[in-house]
Each structure stands twice: as C-alpha cells, then as structure tokens.
Structure 1
Amino acid sequence: MTPVVRMAWLPGADTALPLPTYETAGAAGADLRANFPLEDRGGVTLRPGERRLVPTGLMVEVPDGFELQVRPRSGAALRHGLSIPNAPGTVDSDYRGPLGVILANLGDAPIHIGHGDRIAQAVVAPVAQARFELAETLSDTARGTGGFGSTGRR
C-alpha cells in the first residue's frame, strides 16, 4: 500500500507552485521547492558558510509508522556546495507545523535561492519505535568495540 502524505498550503504561500514531485519513475525523493512569502519572492542569497531556514509554503501530515526525510539534492551539493546540515532532517508523523529546509552554503561563492527553486528531496520512509532496556552485558561480534575506521581501508 502506498503511503499518502497530506499537505496544506500555508497562508501567503504561492499555490501556483507544484506540490513535491518525483522527477523520474524510479526516484526515491520528491523535489521540494522554495516558496517564499510575497514580500520575499526575490529569494535569498547564502554567503559561504551561511545557513538559513528556507520555507516550502507547506504543512504536512505524514502517516503513522512513517517519517518524511529531507535530504540534499546531489547536483546542487556537487556544483554549489549547497547542503542540509542536519541531513537527513526528519519530519515526524505527529508534526503539523510549517515545513522548512535548513540550507547551508558549504561552497566558496554566494548561492542565490530563488522562489520556486528545487532545494531538497523528500523521502517517505517507514519507522519502527524500539523498546530500550538496560543490560548487564552485550553479545560479542567479530568487530567488537572497533570504532571509526576499524574495518580497514579499501
């Protein structure tokens, strides 16, 4: 069964912009667009090292048992250094507020984010809530306590 993510426009959003869309039949992520309020439709420019919350003009209702992951777009990351510092950002199923995307300019030149630009991808993924319990010991594995880089180099 295909999950349904319900969406509502925020007051002042540009409702002529499309809802998130999958650009190809095999795409895992649907493109999210910048949707600035009328007084800010010129967009924003991020200086190198700057981060900003960019509005999508949407509120979402994610079905129970799922999350909406907000991920960077690979082309924008490669070409411009545009990223999402908390990637993947998680939108929980019980959140109903505005959907914004925290963008960071990791490049060495200013990046302009225009109204309607594709700024991120939304991936709908199943989640499970675990039960956490304290244990006296943990089971052994071949890796054991080896941390970062412990599996060797390829």
Structure 2
Amino acid sequence: MERINVAVEAGCKVPRRGDDDSAGLDLSVSKDVSIPASGHKMCHTGVHVQIPKNHVGLVFIRSSVGAKRHVELSNGVGVIDCGYTGEVMLPLHNHGNSAQFFRAGERVAQLVIVPCVMTDVNIVDELDETSRGDGGFGSTGKD
C-alpha cells in the first residue's frame, strides 16, 4: 500500500479507509454544519494532502450521504491537483426537502488518488476517423 503525506489541523479527523479494500480515504467535516433544503454550504475538513506527482486526487460524496440524505458535492467531483496543498474543502448541496445536519467528525466524502496522464494540446485541422465518429447520447444502442 502506498502512502501520501497528510497534514491535519488540530481537532480534525485523519482521513481513513472504511476497510482494507476501500478505494477512498474518508473525509470528515471539521465543524458542525447544517445545510438547508435546496441549500449549499462550503464545508471545512481541516485536511491538507500532498498528492504525488503524476497523480490526481478525486473527491466523491460517500454513497450513503448521497443516496440516503440527498446531499452531493456541488461540483460533482472535486479535483485536487498534485501542486495544491491547501485545505480540502467540500462544497455540499442539499437536494432534499429538509435540512441536513452533519456533526463535526462525521464522514461525508472520500478521496481517491489515481494516476493522471499529463497532456498538452496538439492543434490539428481534423481528427482521425473512427467507427463511432461524432455519434453520442445513445448512438451505440440500448443493449
């Protein structure tokens, strides 16, 4: 198992895996937070991570929070570049009809670290032909 450097502010929870086979490190909110119905809050974790070079940290909502409490990350998936060492923040949006309260230390999101191919752009007049071409949005069928 590989390790990453993590700095945790006083009183905040260290990111941890739910079990040995979990892909993500669970992230907790560092302060009590109430998100009103259809509301949005930027939440602190008190966690700073050093993503290895040629990797990216992807932040997802925990499935239980999304499915049972109708709370999601406002930006869908958070992206932490390897050069960023600031606090990991969680922009949460409550899609439900009632306020959602999270206690300090409650696990809300998860951080998955994956290799990232670093790319640059090569400008061309046209792209190579493929069997799919510009077909999208169900163009390959339903089954």
TM-score (norm 2): 0.92
Structure 2 counterpart of 1:94: 83
Structure 1 counterpart of 2:22: 27
Q: CA RMSD in A?
A: 1.5
> For 1:65-102, what per-residue CA distance to the aligned partner results, in whole angstroms no more than 9, with x for missing partners?
11111101111111110111223201111112111111
In 2: Cα distance, 1:71 partner to 1:149 partner = 26
Identity of aligned residues (%): 29
- Displacement of 1:118: 0.4
SS in structure 1 opposite 2:16?
coil
SS in structure 1 opposite 2:91?
strand
The ranges of structure 1 where at least 4 consecutive aligned residues each deviate by more than 4 angstroms after the TM superposition are: none
> For 1:94-150, what per-residue CA distance to the aligned partner results, in whole angstroms no more than 9, with x for missing partners?
112111111111112110011010010010111111121111221112211112222
Structure 1 counterpart of 2:7: 8
1:107 aligns with 2:102: no
Q: Please give the residue correspondences for 1:1-150 in structure 2 after superposition, counting only pairs within 5 Å.
A: 2=2, 4-10=3-9, 13-15=10-12, 17=13, 19-36=14-31, 43-150=32-139
> For 1:1-52, what per-residue CA distance to the aligned partner results, in whole angstroms no more than 9, with x for missing partners?
72x3211133xx315x3x111112211111101112xxxxxx1211121111
Segments of structure 2 that go 5 or more residues without pairing to the other structure are: none
In 2: Cα distance, 1:149 partner to 1:49 partner = 31
AA aligned opposite 2:69: H
